[in-house]
Structure 1
Amino acid sequence: MKLFTSPLAFVAVAALSSTTSAKSGPISVAYVEVNDNSITNVGDYTLADGSNAFDIAIIFAANINYNGSSAVLYNNPNVQAVLDDADNQIRPLQAKGIKVLLSILGNHQGAGISNFATQAAAADFASQVSDALNQYGLDGVDLDDEYADYGTNGTPQPNDQSIGWLISALRTDLGDKLVTFYNYGPASDYLSSSSASIGSQLSYSWNANYDSYEAPNIPGLSKSQLSPAAIDIPTTPQSDAVSFAQETVADGYGVYMTYDLGNGDDSSYISAITQALYGQAATYTP
């Protein structure tokens, strides 16, 4: 099994960026609700030295559906439209050095990342994810344990081995692609008490409780791989976003996560964050 080798906090930005100037500081993550907003907007923010304001763009979100016997990867029409238009929506981001991930979460049908009943079932779903990432040329997957409604349709309840099985199968299938974890739901509880050999196969994890600052507790992950800040751009006050950015740097964490980057110019809010993270303002150029 090929394990992911974790980057150091301030080296990671340079590794993710192909811009002429590599900024120094934590990696910045932007989730985009593609039902309403364009993923391309992640690439429209740049710093004064030409670096990308964001290093990872996450397509939110594909689903885990249940077909009566097993978990099935499902893309709603809006997600599928982004993937089908990869040449115009994904490749330009990647050309700038921005990694593009697909977020995967439940769909109220009883299937999720925490209730695979066997290692084989987890491996089967991991293969579906791997096939999709390869088909559309994506850089990784983000795992989210929301909206599964475990027990619906006669599905099993969560168990403490499911998330480990899935992470290990994904790491085997994906090699050095990113596998990230939105620290929420039963999977977060199981990972917090799992062995470091499971957590170390993740690339990054972030706090999922918006407008708060609390690092995930996942054995095997270093501070360079964690975001204690959880920023919901439309609702988190700018003062909190800045304060959490300052704490992220001061405390030596390597990731800063934002959710729901919208269409249009939000450079005032983003600049306040990037000034705290990198000492540079962000400009918006669509």
Structure 2
Amino acid sequence: MILVTGGLGMIGAHTAAALADLGQEVVVTGHRTTQLPSFLAGRVLVERLDTTDRDEFLALGRRYGIRDIVHLAGSIPGADSAGFFRAETSGLVNALDAAISWGVRRFAVASSISVYTGQDDRPWSEDLPLSTVPLPHPIAAFKKAVEPIALNAVQGKGVHPVILRIGSTWGPLMDPESPFNPIPPLVSALLRGEHPGPLYADDGSDFGYAPDIGRAIALLTTAGMLRHEVYNISNGHRYTHRDVADAITRAIPTAQVRLIDGRRDAHGRDGYLDITRLRRETGFRPTFDIHSAVAHYVGWRETNSR
């Protein structure tokens, strides 16, 4: 049995689906809801869990024979940054306690592309030294802190840690008005018949599609042997907003996506992830490019609110 905390969120649900596709038994957790998305119905078990409750977390091990943990649970910070860090750290430590107590084989945990902030090389590979520049958001700060905490906590405990440096991910189940990726809000506005603001044509990112990202995490979780502890998770390709606009107008022929030539920051450079390590050790190849991803997402949103 594989436990996916946060398994009802965007990345967690797609990870759970990919694990089920691989023939794995999966239990997912949700905090505020236990309602399964349609593509998980009948395929996984679901438990309500507040990851900050240590006793409740450890009790899962008495109900299930859990072999691996994928810890993806997280929250969005409000005005109380200290409270956000307290809750996220508590959930992480409880997940680590569970991994050690249950003697799991592998503990995979979400980090982020944001750990490379301040690094000038492109694309970003796992061997690059991480900068000490201030990070732009509490989530980015916490994800960077996750890495040494997780690696140190399981050292010598017989648990293989896997740090998942996840790129700019979007897709079904993402908040349709999310500030963290431009594509869902843009599609939402166009499907409502609105005229969203323009994008800078040459800005961009790796824009990994959630089903691909979930499959990459599933492959790392189930791999017989891994040579490393840190892996970039993305599609390994930089797409521009011009690419996004072209994909959207193909999927929604009536759409008009306005573009401004150039970049918001004329001297900036977009970071994206080198996934050579992931490809080499798991055989991962993205199923979706930006055009097929946008077409799939538009079809999903026509019958789903997020």
Q: TM-score range by the shorter chain?
A: 0.3 to 0.5
Q: Could you tell me the TM-score, scaled by structure 2's length?
A: 0.35
Q: Could you tell me the TM-score, scaled by structure 1's length?
A: 0.37
Larger Cα Rg: Structure 1 or Structure 2? 2
Structure with more of its chain in strand, by fraction: 1
